[in-house]
Amino acid sequence: MADIDGGRVERPGLEVDLTGRTAVVTGARAGIGRAIADAFVASGATVISVQRTEPDGLGDRFRFVPADLTDSDAVAGVVEQILGEHRVDILVNNAGVNIRHPFQQFPLDEWDQVLRVNLRAVAQLTQALGRPMLARGSGTVINIASMLSFTGGFTAAAYAASKGAVGQFTKSLANEWASQGVNVNAIAPGFIDTELNAPLRADEVRNRQILERIPAGRWGDPADIAGAALFLASGAARYVHGVILPVDGGYLAR
């Protein structure tokens, strides 16, 4: 268990057997991606981690394939390598980047960088790894959306645009692929204690405002998201398609 802001956070307790299945998880070096990868490995899956930096503590069923997700040629090469060695049963599009500027000052090259990672790479990986899923009639795609799939945020126009698009992409693809045996869903994390959110936690005023808005009274832990991913990857979610599942401590209900 982890102690977060005085509250107790239990690790995922969902009993899921993923033995014999292979999952590709982008951005699994740390934070949400690492929590999902660890939960999948603990449930019997082989996990292939895709990002620039190698995670610590790799085991026999936790592997690393380096890739710059802003480079579409590099992504294509990674897909070819993975499919040459593995049958991919689960894809978790977790990797994401957020660059903040007031929009009138937002450099468009940085706008493009955010959308290349948060949207273009998601589409490219899903298309390439989804084709074999469709061919055999089974598979799971889990996209990591955001609270900014629902709300506008502040000084995060590129991130909000990309995560809004991820939500709509998830629903659109579910319409196409559900009848072919492939589940496509998304998780929308609330305010989770990760590197990406470190500046918000360090801002005393903003941190207080966020906590006042969350009925659960605490920031989320990456393990909270891992539990939702285990559910969506399991047979218990076989009739779940096109959902954007908020895991937010009640933030959107406020």
Pairing of strands 2-4, 7-9: antiparallel
DSSP structural state of residue 226: H
Contacts 24+ apart (CB under 8 A), 70-76: 70/113, 70/116, 70/117, 70/121, 72/116, 72/120, 72/121, 72/124, 75/121, 75/124, 75/125, 76/124, 76/128
Q: How far apart are CA 133 and CA 123, in angstroms?
A: 15
For 245, the 3-state DSSP assignment is: strand
Point out which residues pair with 1 in neighbouring strands.
none
Task: Give me the catalytic one of 159, 169, 191, 219.
Answer: 159
Query: Please, is 170 exposed, middle or buried when counting C-beta atoms within 10 Å of its C-beta (0-12, 13-18, 19+)?
Result: buried
For tokens 């899903």, the residue is: 126
Q: How far apart are CA 58 and CA 49, in angstroms?
A: 10
Q: Any catalytic annotation for residue 251?
A: no
Catalytic residues: 159
